[in-house]
Amino acid sequence: MDSVFKGAIGTGIIQARFQSDTANADPDILVIAYAPIGGGSSRMDRAVSDPGGTALVTVEGPSDGVLEVWVAIGTPTDKGRLSVSRDGEVEDEDDVRGSVRWVYSVHAGG
């Protein structure tokens, strides 16, 4: 799995969307997880997309913390488009192939 540190993202409602390619061999899993710095309640959401479908996950990141977005794709050649938004504004969007993990530092005022 490719793991990429994407930098800082501000606090707020954070969503990830994965649009699975129609030629993919099987369903893909999208996971988003937020953990606050210093402890507290972690938040997680997951969704599954069939080939050609879309998965959408959402967490609230109200304070400084760590955010991770994973797409688990069963076949390394399968692909799709992954995007991450905060409060409705797209922060990152890219085509991905195979399983990926994007990591963010959630930062108030980021």
Q: Is 63 exposed, middle or buried, given 0-12, 13-18 or 19+ CB atoms closer than 10 A?
A: middle
Percent of the chain with pLDDT over 70: 99
pLDDT in tens, 93-110: 999 999 999 999 999 876
User: What pTM does this model have?
Assistant: 0.94
Question: What is the spatial distance between Cα 92 and Cα 42, in angstroms, rounded to a whole number?
Answer: 22
Q: Give ∠ CA 10-5-66 in degrees, rounded to 5.
A: 45
pLDDT in tens, 65-104: 999 999 999 899 999 999 999 999 999 999 999 999 999 9
Domains of the chain, with CATH numbers? 2-107 (2.60.60)
Give the pair of three-digit tokens for residue 35: 């953990």
Rg of the chain taking only CA atoms, in angstroms: 13
